[in-house]
Structure 1
Amino acid sequence: MDIGDIPLFSMLRGRLSYLSERQKLIAQNVANSDTPGFRPKDLKQFAYNAPARAPAGGLRPAGVQAVTQPGHMVSSSASSAASRGFQETKSEVIETTLDGNAVSLEEEMLKMSEARMSYDAAIGFYQKSMNLLRMAARPPGR
């Protein structure tokens, strides 16, 4: 069994991927804080959509193709949230300089610290969940 088949770990992988991408965008915003006309970007809020799975009876939901060979491609409707690209949005503009740059370093640093705290929390949750799986897999009495 692959650990990615467990919905909790699939969701955590998607969340960590989202936070990593968000940190990259925030770093780009900070790097372009002196670029004339630059508008800051951010990602839409992370939302986990569980991958479509075949029920125990073998029937699939309408529109979901079967993957019968390892080389088959998975349709976008059946792929996990981590494998899809995240959607960029324009950040809310608080102030704009005379050259048209709308990056606020204070706002970007707040976003970065928020993303870092969320990333640390997700990593901690991932580690605790792995420890629970290891404990469950140990033979009794150890």
Structure 2
Amino acid sequence: MSVNDAPYFSMLKSRMQFLNDRQKVLADNVANVSTPKFTPKDLDEKSFQKTLSRSYSTGSSGPGSIAPVNMVATSPMHINGTRVSTTGTKAVNAPDSETTLDGNSVVVEEQMIKVADTRMNYDVALTLYQKGLQLMRMASKRPGS
């Protein structure tokens, strides 16, 4: 079993991927601050939590194993695949508190707060990942060395 297969690291990697995707969406919002009728988007945290809790099963591989999340074809025109969803989230409209006369509802200050919050959450997940690796290294060393 590799370290990447451990549920602890798998969940942290999923969380970091979600936060990475959220940063991209927020950056797109800031880039469109002057686009008429643009509505900012954000990733749906609740759908990510549902996907993560659904993936965290007590299946035949033992308690705490991560079940794969497969793509679902909702139309006969879709390609059936076996790719695993990275975050299981979707971008949803998340208008900010104000809308300008041209219909744009991006408030740069609110987007920057979301960017900073996302960065802090990413830093926490990264620190937990690094500490987990340190613990694994410590556990794999011989006593007294």
Q: Tell me if TM exceeds 0.5.
A: yes
* Cα distance, 1:85 vs structure 2: 3.9
Aligned length in residues: 126
RMSD: 2.6
Identity over aligned pairs, percent: 42
Please list, as runs of the form range in 1=range in 2, the aligned pairs for 1:1-142 lying within 5 A after superposition. Answer: 1-45=1-45, 46-47=48-49, 48-49=52-53, 50-52=55-57, 54-55=59-60, 76=70, 83-142=86-145
CA displacement 1:37-87 (0-9 Å, x = unmatched)? 100000011412335564269xxxxxx9xxxxxxxxx6628x998625421
TM-score by length of 2: 0.77
* Cα distance, 1:130 vs structure 2: 0.4
Residues in 2 aligned to 1:81 and 1:128: alpha-carbon distance in whole angstroms: 26
Q: Unpaired runs of 5+ in structure 1?
A: 58-63, 65-73
Distance 1:82 1:76, change over 3 A: closer
Contact preservation (8 Å) 2:70, 2:84: no
Distance 1:9 1:82, change over 3 A: farther
> Which structure would you say has the larger Rg?
1
Residues in 1 aligned to 2:113 and 2:92: alpha-carbon distance in whole angstroms: 17
Instruction: Return the letter of the residue paired with 1:121.
Output: V
SS at match of 1:89: strand
Contact preservation (8 Å) 1:51, 1:80: no
SS at match of 1:26: helix
